[in-house]
């Protein structure tokens, strides 16, 4: 998984007064959990743009002077009016410890059902997985090509040995819903043999129908 580096400074004081001063200076107070003890630091608000305002998943390298810590974003608080970042929580990564993380789903292909006028409903745009940091994927690929109208893609069809899903096996990732203008192959066949339709040239007459007169 790709990483983003955030340069910050350790905080010696974590009171309300110092926190307010940091925000007034364009800094965001942050905490890293998961280690021996929480690590408090601050960083410029602009440093979080590539981490927060993106649909992609990333790990984070937090550089605090000569120290660096690997982490993942755990929680973020925004101002209810201005949407400015108020506080960020991270969780520290260790190479030998599994971590849970939300991973985006990339839908590929064009299903038969969509080609016949159905609509693809994306039930899950992100899936929560658990894995060692080195096995975290950048995204999860979901091929919708085989889906017909009414078809569903279950999470079990996306199973991978490198990570495990934190969802039940009956979780539907996406499905093709019928629309008013949709058709399927069976309907096309039935339409050609509907009651009252003329039989194809050379075909035997239907049971009970009068035989055609000789020319």
Average pLDDT estimate for 32-48: 93
Confidence of residue 210 (pLDDT cuts 50, 70, 90): low
Q: Which domains can be identified in the chain, with CATH numbers?
A: 3-93 (2.40.240.10), 100-187 (2.170.120.20)
Does 208 have pLDDT greater than 80?
Answer: no
The answer to whether the beta carbons of residues 90 and 112 sit under 8 Å apart is no
CA distance 62 to 65: 9
Confidence of residue 192 (pLDDT cuts 50, 70, 90): very low
Per-residue pLDDT at 55: 86
H or E element at residue 69: strand 67-78
- What is the residue-averaged pLDDT of the chain? 86
């Amino acid at each position: 998984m790709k990483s983003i580096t955030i340069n910050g400074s350790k905080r010696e004081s974590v009171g309300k007064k110092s926190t307010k001063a940091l925000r007034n200076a364009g800094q965001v107070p942050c905490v890293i959990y998961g280690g021996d003890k929480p690590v408090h630091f601050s960083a410029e608000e602009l440093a979080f743009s590539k981490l927060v305002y993106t649909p992609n998943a990333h790990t984070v390298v937090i550089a605090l002077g000569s120290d660096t810590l690997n982490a993942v974003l755990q929680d973020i608080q925004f101002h209810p009016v201005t949407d400015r970042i108020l506080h960020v929580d991270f969780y520290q990564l260790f190479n030998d410890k599994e971590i849970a993380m939300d991973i985006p789903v990339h839908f590929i292909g064009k299903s038969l059902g969509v080609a016949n006028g159905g609509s693809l409903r994306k039930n899950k745009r992100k899936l929560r997985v658990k894995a060692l940091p080195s096995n975290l994927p950048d995204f999860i690929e979901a091929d919708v090509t085989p889906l017909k109208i009414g078809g569903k893609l279950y999470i079990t069809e996306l199973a991978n040995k490198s990570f495990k899903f934190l969802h039940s096996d009956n979780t539907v990732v996406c499905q093709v819903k019928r629309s008013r203008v949709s058709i399927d192959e069976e309907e096309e066949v039935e339409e050609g043999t509907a009651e009252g339709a003329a039989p194809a040239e050379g075909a035997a007459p239907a049971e009970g129908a009068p035989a055609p007169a000789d020319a």
